[in-house]
Amino acid sequence: MHNVEVAFYTESGAVRSYFTLFVEERMPELSLSKNVKIGEVNSLSLIISSPVEIENVVIDPLFESEPDKIVLSSVSGTAEVPIRFYGEQCDYEFRISFYSGNNYHSYSVKLTPAFQDGNDLVVNVSVPQTSAFLYDVVDIPVTISNLRDEAVNNIKILASSNNGITLLSSDEIAKLESGYSSKVTLFYSPEKSGKDEITLIISYRDEFGNEVELNKSITINVQNIPAVDVSGVEIETKSVSVGSVQPRGMLGPPTSSTTSRLEITVSGDVVNRGSSYAKNVIVYLDFGNDREEYFIGEIEPSDSDSFSIPASGSERSATVVVEWTNEIGEVHSITKSYELNPIETATEMPPRQQGIVTPTNLVIVTAVTAIGVFAIYRKRRKRKNEGSRTG
């Protein structure tokens, strides 16, 4: 407390006035209730401490925050007000104005709080297997957990692969509250053998609209073996000679000719060694210009189904094609060729047709001809005798 003398000088003399000025040794102080988490929206309290009661308190944060202005009618001792802002490793400046009961004050305060690394989204990828077969579909669960102190919005998920196809059960999460998790499924279908890297990119926005991006990678070894294959193929082969006889004129002998064809039956198993269903499974047998098919339908993981297809032709090899659709709608096929070894030969001749002129027929024709000639001779002779008598 100070006594102040003020003197006014005029023509008639000096006029003096005295008053008491209270000078505060301690001004109101500002502080934050918690450490500031870098890279995260911080929800904490701004603490105002004053040794004397102050009124008409106005605090303006000189950075982006909610709220952007704090107004208090009075503060006696301490007061706390909530404040939210994005954490960065820097000083935080405030301007405070108030009335102490004797004077008005306004000044700036810089705070250098304690910092700590902020939490983030945690992405957990549960790879069910370290290797996969070609064209199989592997279901990979992905769990996204929010360890931040705030909700995050507009989470987007992108997946890519160097040697395969990726598909997500859901590629966007609208909002994820603090402390909560969400699950999506990544469907992966390899199309090339070798080591493949799958990359997940997760982006989101915090409550202040700041965009954050995370990357997560996993590795899978792809075997050079298709998930669906054909095995145990057996081919029953029979070479059949087919003969034909053609008559040749009235007096000539009949002629005959033979042609050969193969009658085969191809049987085997279609094996699904993958971890997903094989759908719309069809087995095709290509034998020369002939194509036969055998529809199997659906084969469960680690299961098989058999087929048996007959065909005929003249080729010395047969081709088996297995076609199927995997669980993400991709159509694939495998092709295998087999050489044929006939194991049985049979000849089929049609009933032999006799010619019109046979020995029996020839005797009959000769006898009939002789009888006819004799009858004509007798008839002519009779007419001649009758003519002689008349004369």
- Chain centre to alpha carbon of residue 341: 44
pLDDT band at 314 (very low <50, low <70, confident <90, very high): confident
Superfamily of domain 228-348: Immunoglobulins (2.60.40.10)
Q: 3-state class of 62 per DSSP?
A: coil
Picking from 231, 303, 273, 229, the residue whose alpha carbon sits closest to that of residue 131 is 273
* Tokens of residue 209, six digits: 């609209």
Domain 121-226, architecture per CATH = Sandwich (2.60)
Write the burial class of residue 54 (CB in 10 Å: 0-12 exposed, 13-18 middle, 19+ buried): buried
Q: What is the pLDDT of residues 110-129, one digit of tens each?
A: 999 999 998 889 999 999 98
Bridge partners for 7 per DSSP: 16
Strands 181-190 and 194-205 come out as unpaired
Spatial distance between the Cα atoms of 72 and 97, rounded to a whole number of angstroms: 10
Lowest mean pLDDT: which of 51-60, 165-174, 349-358? 349-358
Handedness of CA 334, 335, 341, 343 (dihedral sign): positive
Spatial distance between the Cα atoms of 270 and 386, rounded to a whole number of angstroms: 100
What CATH number belongs to 2-117?
2.60.40
User: 314 or 57: whose pLDDT is higher?
Assistant: 57
Mean pLDDT of the chain: 85
Picking from 25, 16, 87, the residue whose alpha carbon sits closest to that of residue 50 is 25
Q: What is the pTM of this model?
A: 0.70
Bridge partners for 153 per DSSP: 175, 205
Percent of the chain with pLDDT over 90: 65
